[in-house]
Every structure is written in structure tokens, then in C-alpha cells.
């Protein structure tokens, strides 16, 4: 199968990206791209708006270490990640 056909099949299986990506380093750091705003920021909870849903990070000692227009870096002891539709 050629590369073009493989790409087409991949797009059929994963039809649309929301522009949201997460990179998780164990349970100590999350690099989140696609953020449209911080809804809640506490030591035990961070909620981010993606425009389509919220993502909630729960844990201990959570800190926003970096934030810009679309990217957020959260550090701390992350115990759960929830998608709120």
C-alpha cells in the first residue's frame, strides 16, 4: 500500500482532530496544547477549556508552570484526568 493510501485510511479511522494534544510525563507533568482558557486553578484541581469540552486535572501540589495563547504546562502529582462534556 502506498503512502497516500495509508494516509487516507488513517484519516478515515481518525476523521477529525480537535487541535487538542496532551503529553504526559508519568504523573508529574502534562503539556497541554489547544487550551482556550483556564476555568479553575487550585492546588488540587486545574480545569482547562478546549472550546468543545473541559479537561480537569486532579492531584496534589498542582502548579501551572507555563501558559501562553494555546499551551499550558501543569506540574505536580496528578491523580486523575477527566473530560467534561
pLDDT tens for residues 13-40?
A: 545 556 889 999 999 999 999 999 999 9
Write down the pLDDT at residue 31: 95
pLDDT tens for residues 43-73?
A: 999 999 999 999 999 999 999 999 998 899 9
For cell 503512502, the residue is 3
Architecture (CATH level 2) of domain 18-84: Sandwich (2.60)
The yes-or-no verdict on residue 12 having pLDDT over 90 is no
Rounded Cα–Cα distance for residues 7 and 13 (Å): 10
The yes-or-no verdict on residue 3 having pLDDT over 60 is yes
Domain locations along the chain: 18-84
Amino acid at each position: 500500500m502506498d503512502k497516500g493510501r495509508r494516509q487516507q485510511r488513517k484519516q478515515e479511522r481518525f476523521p477529525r482532530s480537535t487541535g487538542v494534544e496532551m503529553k504526559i510525563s508519568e504523573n508529574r507533568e502534562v503539556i497541554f496544547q489547544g487550551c482556550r482558557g483556564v476555568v479553575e486553578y487550585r492546588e488540587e484541581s486545574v480545569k482547562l477549556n478546549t472550546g468543545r469540552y473541559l479537561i480537569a486535572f486532579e492531584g496534589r501540589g498542582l502548579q501551572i508552570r507555563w501558559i501562553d495563547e494555546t499551551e499550558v504546562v501543569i506540574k505536580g502529582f496528578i491523580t486523575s484526568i477527566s473530560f467534561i462534556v
